[in-house]
Chain A
């Protein structure tokens, strides 16, 4: 758990820093802009944010921080619960505004306690005029008091700090309140410089649909766009998954599930991170060998202190068994019996795994450089798709890979050169020595290309002009014709350039084959890869209705009793009461007659007790059945399948449809 918390923390630090970075440029723009603003209209910044709220909470805090440091701007951020009051009436809005403003100001300047009293006093009766009075007094005070303000006042340019009001959720406001607020504050803009910032989740059109022309003409709106959440996702994946820094990795299926939830459900980076967190928790909780999932140095230490049981656990891993089977027989015996030897081997294997990861990421990026420029993107546009494909299977066996290689063989020279350069950069940036050879090889390719270019220039252009021309145009359309050309030219000797091109592609191909082996072919991959996607799907993207349906339709799923085993549609009379009632209700239309229902139920139930129920106790039995029926029906009502209906006496209405 210790490790886990460390990991969590590491992860979060990384994320926060990333978010801060990605927003900082954006913020700077806004802050700059707010400083400049001075006009009769109320300056307004409309931030178009996606539909993920939590992230821009973080952003607001960042915004606040940067502005605090500048200290000539007041800031009011409305948080959620206040929003409700905001929505209700203008009075509340003003009141809240005022309270926050004063509080905020006191926070910033840390004035004396007497002002607190003033605040509470003012909370009772707030109006625009009192606000202005207060504002003037404060500015006066700050003018005389703090040197920082003096500086600004001496410049006489922005002597009064503008007051910034942030409306986080533009869509959820009542238009009336917002309009009134804007109209009121626009009348006092001289004495009370105000800057509004709207957080918009949909599109800037909303401003015009929410505010009539007379009101929106009072605003001076500038639009700011934030990054789309898809870009966020790709950066996060890039930073979190495709680095060797974090020892914990996601399996293919899990990653697929997470991405699917993101793309098809909510577009929320927040949820993606949550899912990732859940994976970490789940991995460290369920997998006993996850203690080895840490940095290589630590892992080696931990291997030495493994107990016998843990060694047994390792022996039981399927990937390890595969490894053992591939060894010589005396080695097998040693592996399976002596712990110390096993530990040695494990250390070596872990190291292998580590090296594999480093190489994997580099080669993956390389391959991405190649495939992302191909027409139609046979292997996907984003690096995450490529990553998934590589994890899923041996990528070189797939059709998509074949076709992308085909396309790559037809690349023109300039593209090829830039790509090679990028690849070299990637390799150089890594510290590993593994790739010295490949880097050299690539560099050699580059120099050869240089030479080739010179050679081309010397040569007569007319010969290759047609070919060159064709190459400059769109590759995709040319694929067919080029193939034909190749057929015809097969007899001819290949040009030097083409030879070289083939060589390069083959080189890349061999790189892929060597280093992009999917993770589950590796020994001991269980330690660092989390691959139980079902857990994730169950806990993040649950389907309560399906659970209810299976429980009611097929109780055998949960209650392992032989008597309950039955095939689909028929009503088993041994099922729990509620299941029988549910099945009977499925057979009905929109309205259900209670009496008929009761009778059907009692017939089904009586069939079980039928033979042994004698005449004397039949009344008693009847009452009990009635009671059971009542219980089952009220349970169905609680679950929301039916509701009492006033259309007809003693009828209930069905709220679901379909069924038998």
Chain B
């Protein structure tokens, strides 16, 4: 009963911790932001370069771990053939391990590698690659379900067909949906399709219910590798990395390089004006009339129309944003951080 009591205590502690963490809506953290850190944001490329410089800690131990996992390969093959499917979990990227498995064991057999971490992967593309590459079927299907039915039929008819499917990150954003999991589970329940997948997310097992689990027929293997998630995180939009969705300095310069001299001047003017007013929190942006006036004075445009055409081009490239103020006047803004803008202007000055 003592052990039970301790367990109970632990339980209640956990519960208390949960409510403690979520009770107060007020969160005590400092107000510092990355902006004030005076440090330029890194983009994907420089990050990659920098990380290459940093040595990987404990390389020998990691290698040892990997060798341990590699010794299981033959066992995996046996179990795959007996109708189980294998799922790998644990800390660290399992990509290299699966690659190794592929190159060392699956060399001669038909196999399909699915990069789940790739942000635009869909179940449809997986099914397509099966029908087109493996089954040599050229034809379209109305829905993935029809396609699945076709695949199942073909595999059942032809017992000589065998397919190994390796899925990196089965729990990635694109594949974690109910529907896609259902389809994958159905695929994996076919006796001649052998599935090896890896999962990383802590809540990954939540996506499978009883029915799916029995279709998947998993055997779990812990493969903690400690190797960094290089490929996997390269698509993860982190807060600290310049995101491709918003404007990065590189893309800003890239677009502006391709413009005419006058157009660049126009953008510069707007940027300068915005920087001058950066401390003014209520700054709504430059109104179109004022902007036109300024551009005329700098001999950048000669008519209302040309400026409008120019601004449309900017807007298409998402370089500027227009906002209507309370008085109905159009205001122009550059939706980029001030620091990036400053960097940009400095660079421009160097070029000129």
Interface residues of A (CB under 8 A from B): 1, 8, 51-54, 80-82, 84-85, 266, 268, 270-271, 274, 277-278, 281, 285, 538-542, 544-545, 547-548, 551-552, 555, 558-561, 564, 574, 576-578, 588-596, 598, 623-624, 626-631, 633-635, 637-641, 644, 647-652, 654, 656-659
Partner of B236, one of A1, A634, A651: A634
Q: What is the bound-complex CA distance between A12 and B240, given in angstroms? A: 55
Contacts of A630 in B (CB 8 A): 42, 47, 238, 240-241
Closest Cβ–Cβ distance, residue A355 to chain B (whole Å): 32
A641 touches B202 (CB 8 A): yes
Q: In residues 1-39 of chain B, which contact A (Cβ within 8 Å)? A: 13-14, 17-18, 20-22, 27-30, 32-37, 39
Q: Which residue of A lies closest to B93 (CB)?
A: A635
Closest B residue by C-beta to A558 = B224
Q: Are A627 and B47 in contact (CB under 8 A)?
A: yes
Q: Could you tell me the distance between the alpha carbons of A598 and B213 in the complex, rounded to whole angstroms? A: 40
Query: Could you list some 16 contacts between A and B, CB below 8 A?
Result: A52-B214, A81-B183, A274-B84, A278-B84, A558-B65, A559-B62, A591-B27, A594-B240, A596-B29, A624-B53, A628-B54, A631-B233, A639-B91, A639-B201, A644-B239, A657-B21
Choose the segment among B203-211, B266-274, B327-335, B340-348 that binds chain A (4+ C-beta atoms closer than 8 Å). Answer: B203-211
Residues of chain B lying within 8 A (CB to CB) of residue A626: 39, 42, 50, 240
In the docked arrangement, what's the CA distance between A564 and B90, Å?
Answer: 19
Q: Which of B37, B90, B145, B210 contacts A547 (CB 8 A)?
A: B90
Given known contacts A277-B82, A547-B89, A560-B61, A656 and B202 CB-to-CB distance under 8 angstroms: yes
Main SS class of interface, A? helix
From B202, which residue of chain A is reached at the shortest CB distance?
A640
Q: Are B33 and A649 neighbours in the complex by a CB distance under 8 Å?
A: yes
Which B residues are CB-close (under 8 A) to A278? 84, 219
The answer to whether B89 and A544 have CB atoms under 8 Å apart is yes
Interface residue? B78 (CB, 8 A): yes
Q: When the two chains form the complex, which single residue of A81, A576, A588, A596 contacts B186, counting CB atoms closer than 8 Å?
A: A81
Question: When the two chains form their complex, are residues B14 and A268 in contact, meaning their CB atoms are under 8 A apart?
Answer: no
Interface string of B272-298 (1 = CB under 8 A from A): 000000000000000000000000000
| Interface size of B as a range | 35 or more
Asked if B232 is at the interface of the complex by the 8 Å CB criterion, the answer is: yes
A406→B75 CA distance, assembly (Å): 51
- Complex alpha-carbon distance, A541 and B213, angstroms: 12
Instruction: Determine if B182 is an interface residue (Cβ-Cβ < 8 Å).
Output: yes
Complex contacts, A548 vs chain B, CB 8 Å: 89-91, 202
Chain B positions 71-122 with a Cβ under 8 Å from a chain A Cβ? 75, 78-79, 82, 84, 89-92
Whether a CB of chain A sits under 8 angstroms from the CB of B199 is: yes
Inter-chain contact A596/B50, CB cutoff 8 Å: no
Contact A551 B51 (CB under 8 A): no
Which chain B residue lies CB-closest to A57? B214
Q: Closest residue to B217 on the A side, CB-wise?
A: A274
Contact B18 A547 (CB under 8 A): no
The answer, among A82, A552, A638, A649, for a CB contact under 8 Å with B201, is: A638
Residue from the list B30, B89, B224, B232 in contact with A542, Cβ < 8 A? B89
User: A659 to B217, alpha carbons, bound, how many Å?
Assistant: 33
Nearest B residue to A592, CB-CB: B29
- Residue on A with the closest CB to B209? A53
Closest to A548 in B: B91
